[in-house]
Amino acid sequence: MGEHSAVHISTECATPDATIEAGRRLGDRLEPGDVVLLSGDLGVGKTTLAQGIVAGYGIAEPVTSPSFALIHEYRLGPRLVVHFDPYRLEAAGALRDVGWEEYLGSGAVMLIEWPERLGDSIPVPHIWVTIAHADGSTRRITLVSEPDTDIDRWSNLWTA
């Protein structure tokens, strides 16, 4: 792992509203061009978290799962969030066919659900956010920023 390690923080959310708030805090700290990977089981709350992220980034639009459309765009002025879900793609090579790479480096914030489906096409740097079931209805949200150059940006994300 060398001299640097990834930033690794987590929080627990007992309700969907708390999950949205955790996403809102994350979205508030995003910068144009950031890539956020949203990982977790089906139905665990990735889209709920994405709703908060988009709102925190300053875009007040309803956020829905892009499972069937593959890509949803949310825009306010120069701010653009591209919500991408490669779950239904047959192969990572099919990514080029949907044009998702055109968004990389465009200044858009990328929210990518099911990043595992990207194979070796996962962009670096990225912010990997995992949401998982904890006790009862509680969700545990973990953020890993790779590389760790943004440690100050994330250090008190969910504690401030």
pLDDT in tens, 7-49: 788 999 999 999 999 999 999 999 999 999 999 998 899 999 9
Boundaries of domain holding 59 = 7-147
- Report the mean per-residue pLDDT for the chain: 84
Given a contact cutoff of 8 angstroms between Cβ atoms, the answer to whether 126 and 143 are in contact is no
Domain presence at residue 152: no
- Rounded to two decimals, what is the model's pTM? 0.87
Beta bridge partners of 133: 139
**Considering its fold, how many domains does the chain have in total?**
1
Domain presence at residue 121: yes
Domain presence at residue 80: yes
Domain presence at residue 75: yes
Both structure tokens of 129: 């956010």
- The model's pLDDT over 76-123, given as tens digits with 9 standing for 90+, comes to 988 999 988 877 766 655 666 666 778 887 889 999 988 888 877 788
Domain presence at residue 155: no
Domain presence at residue 153: no
Cα-to-chain-centroid distance, residue 105:
16
| CATH code of 27's domain | 3.40.50.300
